[in-house]
A = this chain, B = another copy of it.
Amino acid sequence: MARITKTPEERRLEIVQTAERLFREVGFTKCSVDMIIRDIGVSKGTFYYYFKSKEEILEAIVDRTLVQIVEMAEQVADAPSLDALTKMQMLLSDSHIGDDDTHDIAEMLHMPENRELHEITNIQSVMRLSPILAKIVEQGNLEGVFSAGQPLETVQFLLTGSQFLLDGRLFAFSEQEVHDRRVVAQQIIEKSLGAKPGSFDFMNPNPMEGK
């Protein structure tokens, strides 16, 4: 095979991205190192030059994903011009996702063939997002729009429920079924946070309406 040298950053990224895609497509266990290197057109030695085990690249991918999610969440949480209700809405709904990259992340978290990556990331994202959301709940408590004790624990329950249930793929729900659960989730969130009924209404425009 021709020797193609790239900068370490390029090569590393190339490997991470390819692995990420393949892990999503076929699952971590079923995706062999061989598949990854064949896809890139690079030698086995090169793979192990950058990552010293298959586990290590998994960690790299999970970290990378979580860093993106957390960064995004922190931007929202730290925005001084937004009120707590708006922030909460932005972070709990999917409708705020603009760019493709962030959307991919959400996609990635819920792939069917992707149990391992999925579960690890899921749990981590609950753990890392919850403190950020808890701060927003506290802000909301002060602003008078929420009235919730135990913000961290509350938010963790709501996040967990949302993450797992609202993923159409995981539970094999139809679009309409997902929508129905989204509406209910919103009501539960409102009740749990002590928000005024209907505060999160616009989070769930009926996707069937225009059809």
Contact = CB atoms under 8 A, between A and B. Distances in A.
Contact of A184 (B154, B165, B183, B187): B154
Interface stretch (A11-19, A35-43, A68-76, A156-164): A156-164
B161 A157 contact: yes
A90 B34 CA distance: 50
Interface residues of A, number: 29
A37 to B, nearest CB: 14
A142 interface: no
Interface in A173-211: 180-181, 183-185, 187-188, 191-192
Interface stretch (A53-61, A79-87, A94-102, A119-127): A119-127
Contacts of A119: 115, 119
A50 interface: no
A153 B127 CA distance: 25
Given A160-B160, A161-B160, A170-B123, A180 B153 contact: yes
Interface in A122-143: 123, 126-127
A132 B187 CA distance: 21
Given A157-B161, A158-B161, A192-B192, A150 B184 contact: yes
Contacts of A160: 160-161, 164-165
B171 A123 contact: yes
A157 to B, nearest CB: 5
A48 B149 CA distance: 55
Contacts of A161: 157-158, 160-161
28 contacts: A29-B29, A115-B115, A115-B116, A115-B119, A119-B119, A123-B170, A126-B171, A150-B180, A150-B184, A150-B187, A153-B181, A153-B183, A153-B184, A154-B188, A156-B181, A157-B161, A157-B184, A157-B188, A158-B161, A160-B160, A160-B164, A161-B161, A164-B164, A187-B192, A188-B191, A188-B192, A191-B191, A191-B192
Given A157-B184, A188-B188, 13 more contacts: A119-B119, A126-B171, A150-B183, A150-B187, A153-B181, A154-B184, A156-B165, A157-B161, A160-B160, A161-B161, A187-B192, A188-B191, A191-B191
